[in-house]
Amino acid sequence: MAETTAAVRRSDEELRITEIFHSLQGESRPVGCPTAFVRLTGCPLRCVWCDTEYAFHGGTRMRIAEIVEQVAGFGTRYVCVTGGEPLAQPNCRALLTALCARGYDVSLETSGALEISNIDPRVVVVMDIKAPGSGEVERNLWQNLELIKADDQIKFVIADRRDYEWSRDVVAERGLTSRCAVLFSPVWRETLGRDLAEWILADRLDVRFQIQLHKVLWGEAPGH
């Protein structure tokens, strides 16, 4: 009875939402899969290459029950909670648990600058490590690495050769590929995709190269 009451209480908790939409997953392990995206509002970081600045402010207050109901309308297996920085809102964890309880495969995209503790273990965490070219390298919360699970993913967004070498060295020094999948992604506005692919091959890195599929298909339009 107490557990049911707690679940009802959580469903009444609110978050600020920038958008909820249905698209193909453009990054990470389920790339190409139809996915419901829940984009939370607000972010404490200001990465120079950020492509979701429109999510920094505003948003609409929604109860968790309303969010879950809207997601259900898409009829999809995958749900991605993103931002902004989702963990900047305290009720994000309750939302993640509510989505898992409905049987979805849930992923969380986070900057790596906020603690990833106490996240429902059913959630796949896709955590950035900020390279120097982001302008936010000092915000990396390195203790988060101790909380990464084997089915989580660590992502580096790379703007140039310096970023690549820094990321390559971090992967080696911290043994990241033994923890989980590691993703290297070129900054979209830079024409370095082929270079990055060739650097990875030349160095025999055990990482996954990825581009943002949704931008190949739809450009930088919001809602994709």
The structure tokens listed for 132 are: 């120097």
CATH code for the domain of 209:
3.20.20.70
- Distance from C-alpha of 210 to C-alpha of 136, rounded to nearest angstrom: 21
Least confident of 38-42, 59-63, 129-133, 219-223: 219-223
Q: Work out the pLDDT band at 9, boundaries 50, 70, 90.
A: low
* 222 within a domain of the structure (yes/no): no
Which one-letter amino acid corresponds to residue 134? S
Judge whether residue 4 has pLDDT over 60.
no
HEC string of 191-216 equals CCHHHHHHHHHHCCCCCEECCCHHHH
The structure tokens listed for 190 are: 């830079």
* 74 within a domain of the structure (yes/no): yes
Residues 6+ apart with CB under 8 A from 160: 133, 190, 192
* 165 within a domain of the structure (yes/no): yes
* 223 within a domain of the structure (yes/no): no
Closest CA to 222 of 26, 44, 51, 43: 51
- What is the model's pLDDT at position 22? 96
> Would residue 160 be called left, alpha or beta, if left means φ above 0 and alpha means ψ between -120 and 50 degrees?
beta
Strands 34-40 and 14-24: antiparallel
Cβ pair 87, 21 in contact under 8 A: no
Structural domain tally of the chain?
Answer: 1
35-86 per-position pLDDT tens digit:
999 999 999 999 999 888 999 999 999 999 999 999 999 999 999 999 999 9
* 224 within a domain of the structure (yes/no): no
Span 95-118, average pLDDT = 97
Judge whether residue 148 has pLDDT over 80.
yes
Closest CA to 97 of 110, 84, 113, 79: 79
Of residues 222 and 56, more confidently modeled:
56
* 146 within a domain of the structure (yes/no): yes
* 221 within a domain of the structure (yes/no): no
151-190 per-position pLDDT tens digit:
999 999 999 999 999 999 999 999 999 999 999 999 976 6
Q: Work out the pLDDT band at 135, boundaries 50, 70, 90.
A: very high
- What is the model's pLDDT at position 10? 62
Domain span at residue 76 reads: 2-216
- Distance from C-alpha of 192 to C-alpha of 45, rounded to nearest angstrom: 24
Judge whether residue 12 has pLDDT over 60.
yes
Span 143-151, average pLDDT = 97
Span 6-14, average pLDDT = 68
- Please tell me what DSSP assigns to residue 59: -
